[in-house]
Amino acid sequence: MSYDHSSPLQRLFSETTQQVLDSNWTTFSKANNWQEVLPCPDLSALPVIPISALVMKAVGLRTESAHEKKLTWALWATDFFNRHNESINGNLNTMERHLTDELAVWNKYHSEKNEQLSVEKMYREWLDTIGHLTLMELIGLPIGLGTAQQFLAPKYEALKERYDMYISVPVNLGLRQIALLYIYQNKTISWEQRDQIAQQYGYKSGEKLYKHYNKHSRTSDRIGVEGGQIQPLIEDIIATIPFLSESQKQQAESEIKTISAKILDRS
């Protein structure tokens, strides 16, 4: 017969971690301290590792006291609470910053009062759209400039329809974003066209645009990114979504999901 010699307390940490990650993120973010979301359970009920006293002495092990177990729990819970709150706040602050940047451009070009969009209101509405997510889903949520653009696009269209407006916000895409846009739209960027296409977006040369197009033209190249390349590519793909058709969006969003899974695998 073989025994699982891993610490019962460590197994409890793992089980609790999964439970919290699968719970709603707002419950976690509203807590003032770790005790509210990770209260110390009855540790006296933990099973004793079935190792003889002689073996424990030989390998330098000893039985933890109830006080030591509670202290270990408090240290683990404090670290877990602080790290995940930092991740939550990082994502929320990033989105608020991108909304602020995007709306600064919109409000500059549409100065009429009824055409203005409030950062505070848009941010609250965005929070409503993610209120159902689990903590794990929020931590793995790709958030970049494209996320803000995608969220605001229907707001712009609604104002256009309501006030018969002409939307003249310039499209501010990076060269790799333009290349990805053409890829998802099944358009070709040839060597002969590179400069002409780049100039349409305000760039003088299309040499880098052409390189980005060739580098990312295959699906396997896009979903095969690793390490520090993952998040920047996700953000660039998200930036293209407001300009894609429904079928093209499905492809882009499917690739985002595949690439994002690598972030969760590392957490």
Domain residue limits, the chain: 173-267
Amino acid (1-letter code) at residue 177: Q
- 61 or 100: whose pLDDT is higher? 100
Contact between residue 240 and residue 146 where contact means Cβ atoms under 8 Å apart: yes
- 66 or 32: whose pLDDT is higher? 32
pLDDT at 49 over 60: no
Separation of CA 131 from chain center: 14
pLDDT at 5 over 60: no
Six-digit token pair at 236? 């660039």
Average pLDDT over residues 208-225: 94
pLDDT at 72 over 50: yes
The whole-chain average pLDDT of the chain stands at: 83
CA distance 190 to 199: 14
pLDDT at 251 over 80: yes
CB atoms near residue 194 (< 10 Å): 19
pLDDT of residue 6: 58
Number of residues that this document lists for the chain: 267
CB atoms near residue 75 (< 10 Å): 10
Average pLDDT over residues 7-18: 85
Amino acid (1-letter code) at residue 266: R
117 — phi, psi (to 5°)?
-120, 125
**DSSP assignment of 83-140:** HHHHHHHHHHHHHHHHHHHHHHHHHHH--SGGG---HHHHHHHHHHHTTT-BHHHHHT
Handedness of CA 63, 69, 73, 74 (dihedral sign): negative
List pLDDT tens digits, range 142-181.
888 778 888 988 888 788 777 765 444 446 789 999 999 9
pLDDT of residue 203: 86
For residue 262, the SS3 value is helix
Reported confidence tier of residue 241, pLDDT bands at 50, 70, 90: confident
pLDDT at 46 over 70: no
Six-digit token pair at 59? 């390998």
Residue 105: closest CA among 144, 142, 148:
148
134 — phi, psi (to 5°)?
-80, 170
Residue 225: closest CA among 195, 256, 199:
256
HSE (side-chain half, CA atoms, 13 Å) at 75:
8
pLDDT of residue 267: 52
CA distance 101 to 221: 31
Reported confidence tier of residue 245, pLDDT bands at 50, 70, 90: confident
pLDDT at 102 over 90: no
pLDDT at 53 over 50: no
CA distance 16 to 211: 47
Strands (E) across the chain are located at none
How much is the pTM?
0.57
Question: Which alpha helices (DSSP H) does 143-229 contain, by range?
Answer: 145-163, 175-184, 194-200, 207-216, 219-223
